[in-house]
Amino acid sequence: MATGDYSAKSGYKAQFELLLFEEAENPTISIDWSANVWDIKTSEKIKVFLWNALQDALPVGEQFAVRNIPLSIRCSRCNEEETVSHLLFTCPYSRKVWKLAPLATSIDVDRVKNTSAGMKIIRRIPSLPLVGLGPGTLTASICWNLWIVRNQLTFQKRDFSPEETLSKAIREAREWSLAQISPINPKLRPPSINQDPPPSTDVPCMYTDAAWNASIGCAGLGWIIDDTTSSSSSYSATAIFVKSPLFAETLAMRRAMTSAIDKGITSLLILSDSQILIKLLNTRGRKLEIAGLLNDIYLLSNAFNAIQFKFIPTEYNDRADSVAKQALYIMS
């Protein structure tokens, strides 16, 4: 069973921690605009935001003082002087968001001397494999959402927890990344989720399941690929900030589909013991609790020539169930 997909390798982590130290201790005046802004895989609005942040052109307290604008120069959360680097890195609120972030290496914000040095560091850090985002994508989304929640607190008196801010940043980064995926063969007619798989016996079957721990809000995700051209393979992943069993089941389904795409599978029969989820998928239904995840699955479906979702009783899904429970056990 492949259970090591979502653990950061120690050598890999050490490499990033060394980079963090070197970049933060030796900030330079010149800014590589391509590397730090325009080449980051994120939306255009976030790139423009990062460009302004690196020029200290955001309307924060420091700029109010420079321009003699009669507004508070203090951070709304901690009452320290508000600079761009304070907002994005050193404010206690921002520190907690970065500490919670599922990144390949932790960020020691005490070593970040200025905004430029901070950007040089975070643009090179990918998320952990359980989130599946490349270097800079999640960190850019975190910066953007720190700015958004700051404005909501300052102007609308709406306060969000660090966990809520991080969750929103992860969701938006995933949605943007998934929107960049092109169908494997765009010339083919888009498949229907309800269509039967090809009658050929070599269509791979994928069994998915999830195990959820309500007390810690974590889940183990498991999926089995049965391909007649090779032996059966099992895979697992873990997830944090999981709201419910249905949320966990949907996460497992989405992760299994991305795994199939990575392996070049173009036709697939997916089986799950979550009757609610299968019914939603086969009717293109909507459910607020998992709306974003359902949209991801509908989008990923376009990467297959043929795909079908079917419900199976729990007793016939024992292998995926076992893999999911083992993944959850590792987290507990």
Rounded to whole angstroms, the Cα distance separating 23 from 31 reads 13
pLDDT of amino acid 17: 53
Check residue 316 and report its DSSP letter: G
Rounded to whole angstroms, the Cα distance separating 49 from 145 reads 11
In the three-class reduction of DSSP (H, G, I as helix; E, B as strand; rest coil), residue 253 is classed as: helix
pLDDT tens digits, one per residue of 263-284? 888 889 999 999 999 999 999 8
What is the chain's percent helix, strand, coil content, to nearest 5? 50, 15, 40
Query: Inter-axis angle of helices 44-54 and 115-122, to 10 degrees?
Result: 140
Distances 278 to 19, 246, 253, 297 between C-alpha atoms, Å: 45, 11, 10, 12
Check residue 103 and report its DSSP letter: B
Q: Residues 240-247: what's their mean pLDDT? A: 92
pLDDT tens digits, one per residue of 148-200? 999 999 888 999 999 999 999 998 998 888 887 655 444 444 444 444 343 34
Rounded to whole angstroms, the Cα distance separating 256 from 206 reads 8
**What are the strands of the beta sheet with 267-272, ordered from one edge?**
233-239, 218-226, 205-213, 267-272, 306-311
- Range with lowest mean pLDDT among 23-27, 131-135, 138-142, 257-261: 23-27
pLDDT of amino acid 229: 59
pLDDT of amino acid 30: 65
Confidence label for 246 from pLDDT (cuts 50, 70 and 90): very high
> By percentage, how much of the chain surpasses pLDDT 70?
82
Cβ atoms of 146 and 97 within 8 Å: the answer is yes
Q: List the beta bridge partners of residue 210.
A: 221
Confidence label for 2 from pLDDT (cuts 50, 70 and 90): very low
Q: Residues 96-111: what's their mean pLDDT? A: 89
pLDDT of amino acid 328: 87
User: What CATH number has the domain spanning 205-331?
Assistant: 3.30.420.10
CB atoms closer than 10 angstroms to residue 36: 21
Residue entry with tokens 């420079």: 66
Rounded to whole angstroms, the Cα distance separating 276 from 311 reads 9
- Range with lowest mean pLDDT among 5-9, 96-100, 208-212, 278-282: 5-9
Check residue 42 and report its DSSP letter: S
Name, in order, each residue with C-beta under 8 angstroms of 189's C-beta and a sequence gap of 6 or more.
none
Beta pairing, strands 306-311 & 267-272: parallel
Q: What are phi and psi of 297, to 5 degrees?
A: -65, -40
Q: Radius of gyration (Cα) for the chain, nearest Å?
A: 22
Residue entry with tokens 């929107």: 179
Annotated domain spans of the chain: 10-179, 205-331
In the three-class reduction of DSSP (H, G, I as helix; E, B as strand; rest coil), residue 33 is classed as: helix
Cα-based angle 309, 204, 308 (whole degrees, multiple of 5): 15
pLDDT tens digits, one per residue of 123-147? 888 888 777 788 889 999 999 999 9
Confidence label for 37 from pLDDT (cuts 50, 70 and 90): confident
Task: Say if residue 307 is exposed, middle or buried (CB neighbours under 10 Å; 0-12, 13-18, 19+).
Answer: buried
> By percentage, how much of the chain surpasses pLDDT 90?
39
Pseudo-torsion of CA 95, 100, 104, 109, nearest 10°? 10
